Amino acid sequence: MKNKGFILWLTGLSGAGKTTISKALAPALQERGCQVELLDGDLVRTHLSKGLSFTKEDRDTNIRRIGFVAHLLSRNGVVVIVAAISPYRATRNEVRQMEPNFVEVYVQTPLEVCEGRDVKGLYAKARAGEIKGFTGIDDPYEEPLNPEIICNTTKETVETSVENVISKLEHLGYL
Ligand code: ADP
């Protein structure tokens, strides 16, 4: 049976683990016969959203573009994994309105853990005032109120998060 497309939307702070979990999810979904595309926020900003800033308006434009492309792919049967901070609840919900097959995954890692990891050294720069408007420091992050899935990366390994996502997708009838 051909799998139907859907959007698996990972939201969370910088360094929460969105990219890491997405990259581990992709092969797990492919093994289950899915065609998978990964839209990673960092990469999108070098192509589709090149030139956009981190103001609320440009962040929203970025998310709407990602949502639009993800929707085009998913309606053609592709499972689209999106890994993007996507800090604004209303904008994420706009994508949800456009795409009925939308699964929100909250990668719930506390700010202090993300900052402690500081994978890209960005938190240090934000604290030093070298980056303005950094999510979680001097820019908002609005947590999802009813995400389909929560990955708690302080309690779970990446493998456990992947297993939880897959089993939830089975439960929801996507796999
Ligand atoms: P994001 O894409 O959300 O900015 P990244 O995936 O780039 O975050 O970075 C997350 C970092 O946290 C990686 O260095 C990853 O190895 C680490 N990490 C530690 N534990 C976990 C976990 N349980 N799940 C995901 N990432 C984890």
Ligand 1 site, residue 29, Cβ cutoff 6 A: no
Pocket residue to mutate for ligand 1, from 20, 112, 155, most atoms within 8 A of Cβ: 20
Distance 82 CA to ligand 1 centre (A): 15
Kindly report, residue by residue over 65-102, the tens digit of the pLDDT. 999 999 999 999 999 999 999 999 999 999 999 999 99
C-beta neighbour count of 98 within 10 angstroms = 14
Q: Whose CA is nearest to atom 17 of ligand 1?
A: 17
Ligand 1 site, residue 122, Cβ cutoff 6 A: no
What's the pLDDT band for 29 if we cut at 50, 70, 90?
very high
The reported pLDDT for the residue numbered 41 is 95
Listed by start position, the domains of the chain span 6-172
Q: Is 161 a catalytic residue?
A: no
- Flag whether pLDDT at 1 surpasses 80: no
**CATH for 6-172?**
3.40.50.300
- What number does the ligand 1 atom closest to the CA of 85 have? 3
- What number does the ligand 1 atom closest to the CA of 12 have? 3
**CA pair distance 31, 151, nearest whole angstrom:** 21
CA 99 to chain centre: 15
The reported pLDDT for the residue numbered 2 is 57
pTM of the model: 0.97
- What number does the ligand 1 atom closest to the CA of 41 have? 2
